[in-house]
Amino acid sequence: MTSSEVPFSQAAENNKGPILQVLQQHCQAPGTLLEIGAGTGQHAAWLSAQLPHLQWQPSDVPDNLPAIRHWLSQTPNPARPPLALDVTGEWPAGPFDYLFTANTFHIMAQPLVARCIAEGCLRLNEGGRFMVYGPFNYDGQFTSDSNRQFNGWLKAADPQRGIRDKEWIEQEFARHGRQCLADHEMPANNRVLVFG
Ligand SMILES: C[S@@+](CC[C@H](N)C(=O)[O-])C[C@H]1O[C@@H](n2cnc3c(N)ncnc32)[C@H](O)[C@@H]1O
């Protein structure tokens, strides 16, 4: 992969520090962490290096794996080689102590988000934590004008995309016996929801 082909996310650079603070709080015990929709791999490369007590397993759809491999190769880090995981397909057996996903619930169609929650919860150890970063709505309301505009942009690209309601996400987790343990405010009108 040449340098001009390497995907880069400025947002991932901006939010990795605030996300680390939340993970440090909720991932204190050593364990395995499955990252779903790892994207460029920037989070996996940096966060896994800051949290070396975790066995960090990045995953994404097959097309994204070369970029993730590239990012992981650029810095010393303990992340495992990326795994091909389309949430609609076969999932790794697990179990995992932690699940983490960033900026995926507004990209996946709603039934895929439900599947992601269901399959993830099945593979989450008792006492495990499922952490979801992204923008969310509350009581059907956008939390900012910029999130409203972002949602319009998402829908124009694909009507199946869109910012999800926190209450709906909570309901889906509740169907699998998990409740929302924490809801952290993040910069740029994002949140981290922690389920367990
Ligand atoms: C906006 S990107 C976020 C990437 C990264 N987590 C971040 O925060 O920078 C959305 C990610 O969701 C992944 N994704 C979309 N549909 C998926 C699916 N069906 N299964 C697994 N990952 C999926 C995409 O491949 C992409 O990496």
Question: Per residue in 27-78, pLDDT tens?
Answer: 999 999 999 999 999 999 999 999 999 999 999 999 999 999 999 999 999 9
Domain boundaries, the chain: 3-195
- pLDDT for res 156: 98
Judge whether 177 and 130 are in contact, CB under 8 Å: no
> At residue 127, what are phi and psi to the nearest 5 degrees?
85, -5
- pLDDT for res 191: 98
More confident residue, 6 or 86: 86
Reported as a pLDDT band with limits 50, 70 and 90, residue 82 is very high
Alpha carbon of 67 to ligand 1 centroid (Å): 13
Is 70 exceeded by the pLDDT of residue 3? no
Of all residues in the chain, the percent with pLDDT exceeding 90 is 96
Is the shortest distance between the CB of 186 and ligand 1 below 6 Å?
Answer: no
Judge whether 37 and 101 are in contact, CB under 8 Å: yes
Is the shortest distance between the CB of 86 and ligand 1 below 6 Å?
Answer: yes
Reported as a pLDDT band with limits 50, 70 and 90, residue 99 is very high
Of all residues in the chain, the percent with pLDDT exceeding 70 is 98
* Mean pLDDT, rounded, for 179-189: 97
Alpha carbon of 127 to ligand 1 centroid (Å): 26
CA–CA separation, 111 and 109 (whole Å): 6
Is the shortest distance between the CB of 38 and ligand 1 below 6 Å?
Answer: yes
- Residue nearest atom 20 in ligand 1 by C-alpha distance: 86
Q: How buried is residue 158: exposed, middle or buried, by Cβ count under 10 Å (0-12/13-18/19+)? A: exposed
- pLDDT for res 90: 97
- pLDDT for res 182: 98
Is the shortest distance between the CB of 180 and ligand 1 below 6 Å?
Answer: no
Top-level class of domain 3-195 = alpha beta
Judge whether 137 and 163 are in contact, CB under 8 Å: yes
- pLDDT for res 45: 98
* Mean pLDDT, rounded, for 146-169: 98
Is 80 exceeded by the pLDDT of residue 173? yes
- Please report how many Cα atoms fall inside a 13 Å half-sphere around the Cα of residue 45, on the Cβ side: 19
| Amino acid letter for position 91 | W
Is the shortest distance between the CB of 112 and ligand 1 below 6 Å?
Answer: yes
- pLDDT for res 20: 98
| Amino acid letter for position 89 | G
Q: Say what angle helices 42-50 and 65-74 make with each other, to 10 degrees.
A: 40
- pLDDT for res 5: 78
* Mean pLDDT, rounded, for 117-129: 97
> Which residue in the block uniquely carries the two structure tokens 């790892």?
38
* Mean pLDDT, rounded, for 158-184: 98
User: Residue 38 CA: which ligand 1 atom is closest?
Assistant: 6
